[in-house]
Amino acid sequence: MSKKNTETFTLIDNSSGKSFELPVIKGSLGPSVIDVRKLYAQTGYFTYDPGFNSTGSCESNLTYIDGDIGRLLHRGYSIEDLAEKSDFMDVAHLLLNGDLPTPKQKKSFVHDVTYHTMLNEQLANFYRGFRRDAHPMAIMCGVVGGLSAFYHDSTDIYDAHQRMVASFRLIAKMPTIAAMAYKYSIGQPFNYPRNDLSYAENFLYMMFAVPAEEYIISSVMTQAIDRILILHADHEQNASTSTVRLAGSSGANPFACIAAGVAALWGPAHGGANEAVLKMLEEIGQKENIPKFIKYAKDKNDPFRLMGFGHRVYKNYDPRAKVMQKTCHEVLKELNLNDPLLELAMEMEKIALSDPYFVEKKLFPNIDFYSGILLKALGFPTSMFTVLFAVARTVGWVAQWKEMIEDPGQRIGRPRQLYTGHPERDYIPLEKRR
């Protein structure tokens, strides 16, 4: 809960000599915020903050990040504890409902998610309209948005029951949608979900089983997927979550909002980075080439960036990347795999973290730096990496969307701008234009 503070922030307009008192609001953790909601009415000025470096866009009690020390909490629990001691359904319940479930709540929550895993059969035809070589994220954007054409009974955002049903549907159907995108791309038949399996097991089954053979679900792979899902579940007001909130603020239905989130996640500066990291490591190929790529990354005239490095909020090691790196080692060992890309990534990290450019700019590995290597070890093709991120992040998107709709102070998101275009001018008829 935010507290109105007695503290204020004084703003002085040097041109008029007038001063304005702006309220300061304290959160439960982290820096206080200056409330500028009435700034324009009081002063005639807007704030200017492209990229939202210093702007809090909402009040939220889901996730807290302290980027200076590399700390991430969901509803007060550390990501390290959740990754080690919880499972994804626990974390999903925590994010959606505010607390870890009791055993009874967990049973009912898992049941509710599990019994929404199937897709309307008509949606299979939708897939067949895509090219076989379509990127699975392109298919995800289309199919997730298309859900609103099928589940009309959960699109009334003002009905709490419908909001909950839509939330369950989205969390439950995302693995099915993702696995079908993959199966379609490789020309294999779709696998229907199996409700006797856990969330992670069912996802692996739908991804990798074929009707011709028995599929044995590996417990190592299941645990790794579950951990990947936990690590990606939510991350406060990142680009895709802010997109979901902005789309939702206009009253759009939840399926359309999550489709908007999928689109925003796809970009290589955000969730698309895991795919880009693997491509980059493959291009680097061997340790001897690392200095050359580090040089490109530091060159202001070269658009190349070290993918999987840097973060808007973390100016320290991303705590998720630490868990991901450890999981990567454990899984490769258990599966008896030796991926030279892991060695290469670790060498790259070592070199970058001792280079003054990266040290001064506080550029550390983010979650995407190691997740691709882990997903590759689990048998996921590169094009599916961001899809898996989308599957995991759906619970965060949905929880943030619900929190926004349930906030009595919610208004349409409508930023302003600094106009630098032409002043008003006279219209010139076509025959007189030169």
Q: Which one among 105, 361, 379, 415 touches ligand ACO, defined by CB under 6 A? A: 361
Query: Where are the alpha helices (H) located in 147-209, listed in sequence order?
Result: 160-186, 199-208
62 binds ligand ACO (CB under 6 A): no
Q: Is 271 in the site for ligand ACO (CB under 6 A)?
A: yes
Chain centroid to Cα 61, Å, comes to: 17
Residues 170 to 199: which contact ligand ACO by CB under 6 A? none
* Beta pairing, strands 3-12 & 19-26: antiparallel
**Shortest distance in whole angstroms from residue 421 CB to ligand ACO:** 25
Tokens 């002063």 label which residue?
Answer: 43
From the CB of 296, what's the least distance to ligand ACO, in Å?
9
Query: What are the percentages of helix, strand and coil residues in the chain, rounded to 5?
Result: 55, 5, 40
Q: Is 297 in the site for ligand ACO (CB under 6 A)?
A: yes
SS3 annotation, 367-394: CHHHHHHHHHHCCCCHHHHHHHHHHHHH
Is 366 a binding residue for ligand ACO by CB under 6 A? The answer is yes
Note whether 372 binds ligand ACO by CB under 6 A: no
How far is CA 361 from its chain centroid? 24
Decide if residue 270 touches ligand ACO (CB under 6 A).
yes
Q: Would you count residue 363 as binding ligand ACO (CB under 6 A)?
A: yes
- What values do phi and psi take at 34, rounded to 5? -90, 125
Helices (H) and strands (E) in the chain, counts: 18, 6
**For residue 151, what are the CA distances in angstroms to 119, 173, 253?**
10, 12, 10
| 165 vs 307, beta carbon nearer ligand ACO | 307
Work out whether 308 is an interface residue with ligand ACO (CB under 6 A): yes
Does residue 329 carry a catalytic annotation? Answer: no
Q: Which of 74, 235, 311, 318 is catalytic?
A: 311
Please work out the total of residues on this chain that contact ligand ACO, with binding judged by CB under 6 A. Answer: 19
The closest alpha carbon to 331, from 369, 375, 392, 367, belongs to: 375
Stretch in the footprint of ligand ACO (CB under 6 A) among 9-17, 122-130, 167-175, 358-366: 358-366
**Catalytic residue list contains 116:** no
- The values of phi and psi at residue 62, to 5°, are -90, -55
Position of minimal CB gap to ligand ACO: 310
Applying CB under 6 A, the residues found at the interface with ligand ACO are: 51, 269-271, 273, 297, 305-312, 361, 363, 366-368
Q: Which residues are catalytic?
A: 311, 368
